[in-house]
Amino acid sequence: MSEPFINKVAESGLITLDLEKWYPRDETAVFDMKDYLFMGMILKEKDFRDALKNIDWESYRGKNVAVTCSADAIIPVWAYMLVATYLQPFAKEMVMGDEKELHKTIFLKNLSAIDVNEYTDKKVVIKGCGETPIADYVYMEITKLLRPVVKSIMYGEPCSTVPVFKKK
C-alpha cells in the first residue's frame, strides 16, 4: 500500500501574491494639448480657453486620463492646471504624462492600497508568471511595501521559488 500524498506546498504556510490583482483595468483616455495649439505649436490663451469651454468633458467620466502634449511645444504650467480644473469633476484619475506614465501611476496607487499588516510575519511568494505582463517596477514596489512586515519574500511559484528576503 502506498503512502498518502502530502501537499508540502499547502502545508508550508506560503501566501502567494498575484500582482495581476492590482493591475489597472479601468478605461483610459489621453488628453493631448497639441490638438488645441495654434498651428500645432503655439498656445494662444484666449483660443485655448475657448476651446476648453467647448469640449464634451462628460466623455472623460470615470476614466483615468493622461494629460500630455505630443507636439514639441512649450506649454505654460497654467495650461495644465486649467485642463485639470475641467477634468477633475469627471476623470477618475488624471496624470500629467503619457499612457505609460498613467498606467504606472495607477498601478502604484493600487499597490499602495494593500493592507501590508495582513502579511505580518508571513512567508510571501510573489507570483512571477502570469498571463498579464507585469513591469519590473511593480516587483520592486511590492518588495518595498512588504519587507518591513513579512517573515520572508520569495519570487516565482510555491513549488519553485527564488528567495529574495528573509527576516533574521
In a domain, 72, yes or no: yes
> Would you state the pLDDT for residue 40?
79
What's the CA angle centered on 24, arms 91 and 55, to 5 degrees? 25
> Would you state the pLDDT for residue 12?
61
Q: How far is CA 26 from the centre of its chain?
A: 11
**128 and 144 together in one domain:** yes
**Which structural domain range is residue 118 located in?**
8-24+108-166
In a domain, 148, yes or no: yes
Residue 94 C-alpha cell reads as: 488624471
**35 and 19 together in one domain:** no
> Which residues of the chain have a pLDDT value below 50?
5-11
Last residue of a domain, one of 49, 64, 91: 91
> Would you state the pLDDT for residue 60?
98
In a domain, 102, yes or no: no
In a domain, 1, yes or no: no
**48 and 87 together in one domain:** yes
- Using alpha carbons, select from 122, 113, 102, 167 the residue that is nearest to residue 141: 113
**39 and 20 together in one domain:** no
**82 and 49 together in one domain:** yes
Number of structural domains in the chain: 2
> Would you state the pLDDT for residue 65?
98
Beta strand pairing call for 93-96 and 64-68:
parallel
**112 and 58 together in one domain:** no
**33 and 82 together in one domain:** yes
Whether the Cβ atoms of residue 43 and residue 75 lie closer than 8 Å to each other: yes
> Would you state the pLDDT for residue 4?
56
In a domain, 2, yes or no: no
In a domain, 67, yes or no: yes
Could you read off the pLDDT of 16-58 as tens digits, one per residue? Answer: 999 999 999 999 999 999 999 988 789 999 999 999 999 999 9
> Would you state the pLDDT for residue 156?
92
**82 and 126 together in one domain:** no
